[in-house]
Amino acid sequence: MSIIDISQLNDEQIDAIQDDRNIFLVAAPGSGKTRALTYKIAKELSELDEQKKWIVAITYTNRAAEEIKERIELLGIDTKKLWIGTIHGFCIEWILKPYGVFHQNLKNGYSIINSYDSEEIISLLCKSISNPTISYYDCNHYFTSTRLEYSSCTLATRNNVVAVLNLYHQKLISENQVDFELILLYAYQLIDSQPLISVTLSRLFKHVLIDEFQDTREIQYSIFSRILKAGRGGVKGFIVGDPNQAIYGSLGGYAISLQELEQLSGQCFVEKQLNKNYRSSLRIINHFSNYKVYPSAINAAGDFSAFQSTVTFNCSVHKDYLAPQLAGLIRASIEDENINENEICIVAPWWIHLASMTRKLIALLPEYDFNGPGMTPFARDEDNFWYKVTKIALTEPSPSIYIRRLRWASEIIKLLEAESYPISSITPKKLLKVFNSIDCSEEDGLNYLDKYFQKLEVSLEIDLTVYPSLSDHRTAFFESASKRVDRIISENEGYAGSITDFKKVFGEKKGITVSTIHGVKGAEFDVVIAYGLLEGIVPHFNETDANSAYKLLYVIGSRARKHLHLISEQGRGSQRYPKYPTTILEQHVFPYD
C-alpha cells in the first residue's frame, strides 16, 4: 500500500498516478508533469514488495533524472530499487554491459567516446573531402532500427557525408570504440537478436516510465516495446510528454501516437491528460495555444492566470540595433517591472547568434550577470569516474545538498567496486569526509581539478597503473575539458576558466539566461525575449517537419510566466535573398502590446 501523501496533487495528477494500467499521459506546459512523474515513481517504489524488482525511469537529461530523484528522496521514499537516467545510460547499464559479449563489435571489450571525441574524428575526416567540402555539422546522423539517417546533409553533400560516416564507423569498430549513436544501435541489435534479454529485463522491471516521450526516437521506442511485449502485462508502462513540444525531429525524436505505441508494444494503453497550466498568464496561454499541432486543452490555473501580461512582436528593428533593443527590454523588466535578473531569458534558434549577442549584452549591461551559451567546461559524462568526482569536488559541504553529495559518493563507490578496488571499509559518509578534507589553492579550474584528483588518489591509495580504466577516464576528462575551456574563452569575453567559473556549473544559476530554443525547453521564466524568428531559421531551411515552426514558437511562448517579447529582426540573409519574419508568426492575428 502506498505511503505517499498526494494532498499536493490535483485531480488530474491523482487520477494518472493511481491508475495501475499502462498510461499514455499528455501533459500541457506548466501542468505539473514532473510532479506527476515524481509521485508515480514514489508510489511504485513504496508499493514494491519484490526484492528482485526494479522501477526504471528514462529522462531526456541526467540533470532531469537527478532532480526527480532528489524530489523522491524528499518525500521520504527509499530509492535503492530505482534506476533513473538517460536512454544511453540505460542501454549501457542494462544491455551493453551484461550482454555485450553477444555482439560482434563488443565481445572483445569497448570504450565509450564522448561527443567531443566524435566531433574531432569526424572533422578530421571531413578535411580529406572536397568538391564539395563538408564540415562536422553536415554529418549529423542517427540510427533507426533499420537504417542510418543523415539529418543535416543536402543532395549536393550527401555522397561525401556518407563516405565520411562510413570511414568514421569503420574507425570506431577497428578501435573497439562506441559513440552515443552506436550505444542505441548496439543495444537494439542485442535485444533484437537475443530475445531472452527482453524476457529477462521484463522479469526484473515492475514499471518502466518514460519522460518527454515527444523527444524519443523510433529505436528507443523499439527497445522498450520489446521489453513491454516480453512482459505480457507483467511490466507496466507510464509514458508522459507533450506532442506540441516535439522539436527534436532533426535528431530523430518524434511523438508516437497511442495507436502506434500499442501496436509496437502489444499492450493496451489508457490516454490521460494534464490540462491545467500553473505557470503562465491566460494572455500568454492564448498566444502560444495558437501554435498547437496536437488538439489538447490548456486551462490557466496558476497564480499568474489573471496577470496583465505584455506580449510584443517587433519586426522592424535591424539586426545592427538588436543588442540595444534587447538591453532596453532587459533593463525595463528589471527596473520598471521589478523582475529579478534570474527570471529573464534571452532565446534564439542558433548558438552562433547567441555567442556574439552575449558578448554585446555584457558590454551594454555590465551591472548584470549572464549565463551564456555552452558555459559548462567539461562533458556531463555520468559514466566517467572523474566527472562523478568533480561533482563533489566543486560543491561546498552544506546541509541543503548533503543528501545529494551522499548519493554522489555512493555512485563513486559503485564505480570503484566495478574496478575491483577494495571498498569494504568505505561508506558514503567516510568518503565524503575524505573529500571535505582535501584543500586546494589553485585558481585555474583545470589545474585545481588536477591537483584535487592527485590528492584524492593519495588519500584513497588509488594507483592509476593498477586501474588503467580510471587512468583512461582521467585522460579523457581533461582532454575534453581543455577543448571546451578553449572554446568557451574564444566565444565569451570575460570567461577565464577559473575555479570560480568551474564551481558555477553545480551552483545556483544566477543571472540572465541566454539559450537556444532547444536548450530552454523544460525551463520557465517571468520574462522571455526571443529573436531570430525568421523563415529559414524558424523553421530551419533544412527542416522536413511541416509543423516545425509551430512547435518552436509553442515552446518559446510556453516558457513565459508574465511577459513575452518576440522579435523578427531585419537585415539577416543577403541583399538578394533577405530573410523575412516566420510566416505563421507574422500571420498570427493577436492584440500585441
Q: What is the per-residue pLDDT across 335-384, written as a single tens digit (0 to 9) for each? A: 999 999 999 999 999 888 888 898 899 899 999 988 876 678 888 788 78
Which one-letter DSSP state was computed for residue 26?
E
Q: Which three cell numbers stand for residue 221?
A: 521506442
Number of other CB atoms surrounding residue 318 within 10 Å: 11
The Cα–Cα gap between 193 and 543 comes to 34
- pLDDT tens for the chain, residues 1 to 593: 456 788 889 999 999 999 999 999 999 999 999 999 999 999 999 999 888 899 999 999 888 998 999 999 989 999 999 999 999 999 999 999 999 999 999 999 998 888 878 988 999 999 988 888 999 989 999 999 999 999 888 888 999 999 999 999 999 999 999 999 999 999 999 999 999 999 999 999 999 999 999 999 999 999 999 999 999 999 999 999 999 999 998 889 999 999 999 999 999 999 999 999 999 999 999 999 999 999 889 999 999 999 999 999 999 999 999 999 999 999 999 999 999 999 999 999 988 888 889 889 989 999 998 887 667 888 878 878 999 999 999 999 988 888 889 989 999 998 999 889 998 889 999 999 999 999 999 999 999 999 999 999 999 999 999 999 899 889 989 988 998 888 888 776 667 789 988 998 888 778 999 999 998 988 999 999 999 999 999 988 777 788 999 999 999 999 999 999 999 999 999 989 999 999 999 999 999 99
- Assigned fold of 11-96+191-274: Rossmann fold (3.40.50)
Name which of 122, 204, 205 is nearest 170 in CA terms. 122
What b/e readout covers 189-207, taking b as 16+ CB neighbours within 10 angstroms? bbbeeeeebbbbbbebbbb
β-strand pairing of 141-143 with 148-150: antiparallel
Location of each CATH 3.40.50.300 domain in the chain: 11-96+191-274, 282-374+510-586
459, exposed or middle or buried, with CB in 10 Å at 0-12, 13-18, 19+? middle
- Amino acid, res. 253: G
CA distance 193 to 509: 45
Which of 579, 517, 582, 67 has the alpha carbon at shortest distance from 248? 517
CA distance 459 to 462: 8
Binning the chain into helix, strand and coil, the percentages to the nearest 5 are: 50, 15, 35
282-374+510-586: in CATH 3.40.50.300: yes
3-class secondary-structure state, position 372: coil
What local confidence, expressed as pLDDT, does residue 1 receive? 46
Give the end-to-end CA distance of the chain in Å, rounded to a whole number: 53
CA dist 92 and 184 (Å) reads: 9
The C-alpha angle 230, 234, 238, rounded to 5 degrees, equals: 95
